[in-house]
Chain A
Amino acid sequence: MVGLGAMPGYGIQSMLKEGHKHLSGLDEAVLKNIEACRELSAITRTSLGPNGMNKMVINHLDKLFITNDAATIVNELEVQHPAAKLLVLAARAQQAEIGDGANLTISFAGELLEKAEELIRMGLHPSEIIIGYNKAIIKVLEVLEDLVEKGSENMDVRNKEEVVLRMKSAVASKQFGQEDVLCSLVADACMQVCPKNPANFNVDNVRVAKLVGGGLHNSSVVRGMVLKNDAVGSIKKVEKAKVAVFAGGVDTAATETKGTVLIHSAEQLENYAKTEEAKVEELIKAVADSGAKVIVSGAAVGDMALHFCERYKLMVLKISSKFELRRFCRTTGAIALLKLSQPNADELGYADSVSVEEIGGARVTVVRNEEGGNSVATVLLRGSTDSILDDLERAVDDGVNTYKSMCRDSRIIPGAAATEIELAKRLKEFSLKETGLDQYAISKFAESFELVPRTLSENAGLGAMEIISSLYAEHAGGNARVGIDLEEGACKDVSITKIWDLYVTKSFALKYAADAVCTVLRVDQIIMAKPAGGPRPPQQGAMDED
């Protein structure tokens, strides 16, 4: 509380609650913000590109992550600084929208801010830098459109070669050296589940099952699903089977209101048990009569029901996750019934084979569906440790997301820093034509693009300056497709090395980065409340679903 005995201080600090912090002005707010963002991007930068280094992150739950996926790194870092958080949010938006390119967003934003700091020290006002950066990003998007490889806007999303071509660089940046194996797996899985209208491709339909043991080369794609649990009964393998799905569990029916069994004599007790049995048998028999060989239950399976299932040679599976059950329905084409009753013919699904297999010590149920359905595919990943599997999964996710993006917009641009150098070159030319102070900002924006080739070559242990200068030389010669070949450490036309990036990934990443940077620069005052104490509020779970 403000003491009244003495004259209360002047200015805002005295007006706020205790524990509040107030930062304002260039030195205190803007430059500090830039510094924080730079620190953040310095962390992710070394993970950029195929030769990027892995980070070991241990989060607040003591879970260990070994990854070079920027989205995961910044998520687990729990960044506190408000300005750096803006970059994290930008990266998160990129991850949610495209599923790849989060590292580019953060690194590029960091670089832009670093250049902005130089400009501020030169004496430019942040608002002038913002105007310049805005002009630059508009120009960049124009040029980017221009760089799109001719003829790439039409692609056949079912042609594996074309898919792999576009997916390779995204996967290679996560798992360098294994991209060929992974790409082919991911492409197979994606193409299988791709609906008639590719724009409706749903990422959720490609599942990943991780099983410890073996190696990447043992990985495979299953047309159908892999459930990580055993069958309930003793029947472990069924082929060419009709499937009945019951969402409400396989057991005797119960009333919503509490029911009481009214029994007057021992005879009745005996009879009751009998009628109960008869009822269950009737139901199970009805299911068996309908032709189903597999019963899938969304909830508990009663002992008595199980007994009759065994008797009628029905395989019983239990899937307790609602979403998993829904996916199962999609795989087999079954319609989930709420109550245990005789299913109609059109409510039954079909699976080529349902079998319990033992892979690497774990029992899994593999549901295969080669012909019909084809709406869910599973990539079965094998690897020696959990963290390797997790990292492989992230690479697969990136690949799948890339597939989704290419289904919507298949345009590609040269990868391996070729695009960046070309953008830098053209933007620099553009900046010279601008009058006014924003030309400095635009030319700095252009310079920021050098970050990508520099980082790529630094991470690969190559001489960055040489490579950048020779890249510029090649591009000045008019070939806009020259990029770095990291294996040989030389400049090469990307049409030979076959490194292409998706246009959407790049344009969104650049735009999110520029947006975040402008927001950081626009802030000139920060008012921070006292950090709330006490334990964190529990995370809000998902809404009720049924």
Chain B
Amino acid sequence: MSLRVLNPNAEVLNKSAALHMNINAAKGLQDVLRTNLGPKGTIKMLVGGAGDIKLTKDGNTLLKEMQIQNPTAIMIARTAVAQDDTSGDGTTSTVLFIGELMKQSERCIEEGTHPRFLVDGFEVAKRATLEFLEKFKTPVVMGDEPDREMLKMVARTTLRTKLYEGLADQLTDIVLNAVLCVRQKDEPIDLFMVEIMHMRHKFDVDTHLIEGLVLDHGSRHPDMKRRAENCYILTANVSLEYEKSEINAGFFYSNAEQREKMVSAERRQVDERVKKIIELKNKVCSGTDKNFVVINQKGIDPPSLDLLARAGIIALRRAKRRNMERLVLACGGEAINSVDDLTEDCLGWAGLVYEHVLGEEKYTFVENVKNPHSCTILIKGPNDHTIAQIKDAVRDGLRSVKNTVEDEAVVLGAGAFEMAAKKHLMDNVKKTVKGRAQLGVAAFADALLVIPKTLAENSGLDTQDVIVALENEHDRGLVVGLNHHSGEPVDPQMEGIFDNYSVKRQIINSGPIIASQLLLVDEVIRAGRNMRKPT
């Protein structure tokens, strides 16, 4: 071989061997993820190097944690992860779709078709499917008041594929309310304003939404109140601790009295800052039953804490930066950077602030806020893997609601879209294509069916039966999907099964691209000094 002449150490696979390697890798990856798809998918248990357990049904998590080595598989996995980054869902579908495209192509190639024709066909089919998707999608009007029912159905469809049904239904409301809470008119939704906190406590069904904030630390002083109502919240970024000077300074004194003075002088600056806060507190709170809470991003040292505690102020130190942003959104007021001109306007307000202690961890709840534009989803679960599982699911659920609000459209789920698209491709598009590219269109159309097929398979149904039944219904002009309980065709609209428009679009966009690239590879070369392990 010519390459061997150039570099005797290089490894090379060519022609059909390269193609087969790619096809096998795609199919292998498909096999791993296949059982994950849909509400009846099974759970995978991942055991990390340190023996930590992770349970997941989410394709994205699985791909990330699996540490794949095969180069082709890595390519596919990256596409899937990109899918997750853009739309938050549909990773499993992407991998399945790519795998199926490769599988269908393999059949054609074995019959003698050149990959190039298939790729041309894919391109035509992709464009046609995307056009079809535009027609097929169900528009959702997002006015001032979004259609709650519709959003709920979308969120439910996503969550049910990640968690078991009971919990998924409960999370649906939480996720929906969270997104609607942070949604501000005419602004893109910032999901970072939904804080996700977790507590190892009670059961997974105790997860709930808090309109307000939960901070994962408590006050540091034993004499501060644990619970306060009607609180002014001062969000600050002011250092309330003694800081050493940058230059190397020292004190010189010749008797103890002088030293005492030094000690107090050294603290004066900090004390003054604290005093200003206390003054403000006295101004706004004296004579009423209102309380005062300081949440500081910088530190507060013990003497300052002590002063604040004596003044009846609850003080939290070293809050996270993003929490400061959320605090202002949740409670109102503004984050201050200096204590020089404090007025009442700088203060936020919360109806209830309390501390919750769980073992060694302290949590501070800021609740009953006036006008929340930030909220917290408090995930509870008896152990870490449950919490991690819920966390991933919540993240995807939030994204799906957000996508719907932004797309202003949804797509019928339960395999209905795939069935309809296949019919469209076979009936209308295939005829318009000339020559062998037709085979590519046909392969693409067949590959789409992988979604309903796998759904049926995971539900323990007979794949052939289901597909035939669905096809019959579609031939009669009805749009139906699969009922995974009974295996009967069902109208997804009635069942409330809706997928994200952007998710579907992304799958159809990225799947064929990567499949085409893989099909057109005719040589795999591994060379270079560092590519091989020293033997």
A7 and B20 contact, CB distance less than 8 A? yes
Additional A-B contact list (7), CB under 8 Å, known A86-B53, A86-B385? A1-B532, A16-B68, A256-B244, A257-B250, A258-B251, A532-B49, A532-B50
Given contacts A261-B254, A279-B256, A525-B35, contact A97 B201 (CB under 8 A): yes
B360 and A335 contact, CB distance less than 8 A? no
Given contacts A275-B257, A515-B203, A526-B45, contact A8 B250 (CB under 8 A): no
How many angstroms from the CA of A10 to the CA of B256 in the assembled complex? 81
What 9 A-B pairs have minimum CB-CB distances, sorted nearest first? A532-B49, A93-B382, A275-B255, A89-B383, A279-B256, A528-B47, A262-B252, A259-B251, A275-B256
How many angstroms from the CA of A530 to the CA of B65 in the assembled complex? 12
How many angstroms from the CA of A257 to the CA of B122 in the assembled complex? 73
Residue of B nearest to A335 (CB): B223
**Binary interface encoding of chain A residues 8-22 relative to chain B, with 1 for a CB under 8 A from any of its CBs, else 0:** 101110111100100
Q: Of B21-29, B140-148, B508-516, which binds chain A? A: B21-29
A5 CB-CB contact with B under 8 Å: yes
A8 and B24 contact, CB distance less than 8 A? yes
Given contacts A12-B32, A96-B359, A531-B51, contact A546 B220 (CB under 8 A): yes
A394 CB-CB contact with B under 8 Å: no
B533 CB-CB contact with A under 8 Å: yes
**Binary interface encoding of chain B residues 344-385 relative to chain A, with 1 for a CB under 8 A from any of its CBs, else 0:** 000000000000000110000000000000000000001111
Residue of A nearest to B306 (CB): A338
B55 and A545 contact, CB distance less than 8 A? no
How many angstroms from the CA of A408 to the CA of B278 in the assembled complex? 38
Q: Give me 23 A-to-B residue pairs in the complex whose CB atoms sit less than 8 angstroms apart, sorted by A's number.
A: A2-B70, A7-B21, A11-B28, A15-B29, A16-B67, A16-B68, A82-B53, A85-B53, A127-B42, A252-B259, A253-B259, A259-B251, A259-B262, A262-B252, A526-B44, A526-B45, A527-B44, A527-B46, A527-B66, A529-B49, A530-B49, A543-B217, A543-B360
Q: Of A226-234, A365-373, A375-383, A516-524, which binds chain B? A: A516-524
How many angstroms from the CA of A258 to the CA of B253 in the assembled complex? 11
How many angstroms from the CA of A128 to the CA of B251 in the assembled complex? 77
Which residues on the A side are within 8 Å of B43 (C-beta)? 519, 522-524
A542 CB-CB contact with B under 8 Å: yes
Given contacts A257-B266, A260-B250, A260-B252, contact A2 B259 (CB under 8 A): no
B245 CB-CB contact with A under 8 Å: yes
The one of A83, A90, A259, A262 in contact with B382, judged by C-beta atoms closer than 8 angstroms, is A90
The one of A96, A252, A511, A525 in contact with B203, judged by C-beta atoms closer than 8 angstroms, is A511
A268 CB-CB contact with B under 8 Å: yes
Question: From residue B328, how far is it (CB to closest CB) to chain A in Å?
Answer: 25
How many angstroms from the CA of A82 to the CA of B384 in the assembled complex? 13
How many angstroms from the CA of A546 to the CA of B219 in the assembled complex? 10
A254 CB-CB contact with B under 8 Å: yes
B276 CB-CB contact with A under 8 Å: no
Q: Which of A251-277 contact B (CB under 8 A)?
A: 252-264, 268, 271-272, 275-276
How many angstroms from the CA of A249 to the CA of B242 in the assembled complex? 19
B262 and A255 contact, CB distance less than 8 A? yes
Which residues on the B side are within 8 Å of A542 (C-beta)? 360
A217 CB-CB contact with B under 8 Å: no
Q: Which of A487-546 contact B (CB under 8 A)?
A: 511-512, 515, 519, 522-532, 542-543, 545-546
**Which of A90, A276, A527: most chain B CB closer than 10 A?**
A527
A329 CB-CB contact with B under 8 Å: yes
A285 CB-CB contact with B under 8 Å: no
**Binary interface encoding of chain B residues 221-254 relative to chain A, with 1 for a CB under 8 A from any of its CBs, else 0:** 0110000000000000000001011000111111
A519 and B55 contact, CB distance less than 8 A? yes
B40 CB-CB contact with A under 8 Å: yes
Which residues on the A side are within 8 Å of B359 (C-beta)? 96
Which residues on the A side are within 8 Å of B532 (C-beta)? 1
How many angstroms from the CA of A275 to the CA of B260 in the assembled complex? 11
B321 CB-CB contact with A under 8 Å: no
How many angstroms from the CA of A278 to the CA of B48 in the assembled complex? 64
A4 CB-CB contact with B under 8 Å: yes
**Which of A15, A29, A89, A338: most chain B CB closer than 10 A?**
A15
A363 CB-CB contact with B under 8 Å: no
Chain B interface, DSSP helix/strand/loop, else mixed:
mixed
A546 and B67 contact, CB distance less than 8 A? no
Question: From residue A199, how far is it (CB to closest CB) to chain B in Å?
Answer: 13
The one of A11, A338, A523 in contact with B55, judged by C-beta atoms closer than 8 angstroms, is A523
A271 and B49 contact, CB distance less than 8 A? no
A223 CB-CB contact with B under 8 Å: no
How many angstroms from the CA of A85 to the CA of B52 in the assembled complex? 9
A257 and B244 contact, CB distance less than 8 A? yes
Which residues on the A side are within 8 Å of B42 (C-beta)? 127, 522-525
Which residues on the B side are within 8 Å of A515 (C-beta)? 203-204, 382
Residue of B nearest to A19 (CB): B49
Which residues on the A side are within 8 Å of B460 (C-beta)? 125, 127
A4 and B11 contact, CB distance less than 8 A? yes
Residue of A nearest to B220 (CB): A546
**Binary interface encoding of chain A residues 324-353 relative to chain B, with 1 for a CB under 8 A from any of its CBs, else 0:** 001001000001101100000000000000
Residue of A nearest to B460 (CB): A125
B31 CB-CB contact with A under 8 Å: yes
Given contacts A12-B31, A522-B43, contact A276 B256 (CB under 8 A): yes
B302 CB-CB contact with A under 8 Å: yes
B266 and A1 contact, CB distance less than 8 A? no
Which residues on the B side are within 8 Å of A268 (C-beta)? 254
Which residues on the B side are within 8 Å of A20 (C-beta)? 67
Residue of B nearest to A521 (CB): B43
B127 CB-CB contact with A under 8 Å: no
Question: From residue B381, how far is it (CB to closest CB) to chain A in Å?
Answer: 9
**Which of A16, A17, A80, A326: most chain B CB closer than 10 A?**
A16
How many angstroms from the CA of A336 to the CA of B532 in the assembled complex? 65
How many angstroms from the CA of A467 to the CA of B20 in the assembled complex? 66
Question: From residue B270, how far is it (CB to closest CB) to chain A in Å?
Answer: 10
B360 and A92 contact, CB distance less than 8 A? no
Given contacts A96-B200, A127-B40, A260-B251, contact A272 B256 (CB under 8 A): yes
How many angstroms from the CA of A524 to the CA of B460 in the assembled complex? 14
Question: From residue A270, how far is it (CB to closest CB) to chain B in Å?
Answer: 11
Question: From residue B1, how far is it (CB to closest CB) to chain A in Å?
Answer: 12
The one of B13, B69, B200, B306 in contact with A16, judged by C-beta atoms closer than 8 angstroms, is B69
Which residues on the A side are within 8 Å of B306 (C-beta)? 338
Which residues on the A side are within 8 Å of B51 (C-beta)? 80, 82, 85, 531
Residue of B nearest to A256 (CB): B242
A8 and B263 contact, CB distance less than 8 A? no
Which residues on the A side are within 8 Å of B382 (C-beta)? 89-90, 93, 97, 512, 515
Which residues on the B side are within 8 Å of A11 (C-beta)? 28, 31
The one of B20, B31, B383 in contact with A92, judged by C-beta atoms closer than 8 angstroms, is B383
How many angstroms from the CA of A255 to the CA of B260 in the assembled complex? 8
**Which of B44, B55, B204, B526: most chain A CB closer than 10 A?**
B44
A529 and B47 contact, CB distance less than 8 A? yes
B11 and A5 contact, CB distance less than 8 A? yes
B302 and A546 contact, CB distance less than 8 A? yes
Q: Which of B383-423 contact A (CB under 8 A)?
A: 383-386
A82 and B45 contact, CB distance less than 8 A? yes
Which residues on the B side are within 8 Å of A80 (C-beta)? 51
B73 CB-CB contact with A under 8 Å: yes
How many angstroms from the CA of A519 to the CA of B253 in the assembled complex? 69
The one of B262, B360, B383 in contact with A93, judged by C-beta atoms closer than 8 angstroms, is B383
Q: Which of A451-478 contact B (CB under 8 A)?
A: none
A2 and B256 contact, CB distance less than 8 A? no
B524 CB-CB contact with A under 8 Å: yes
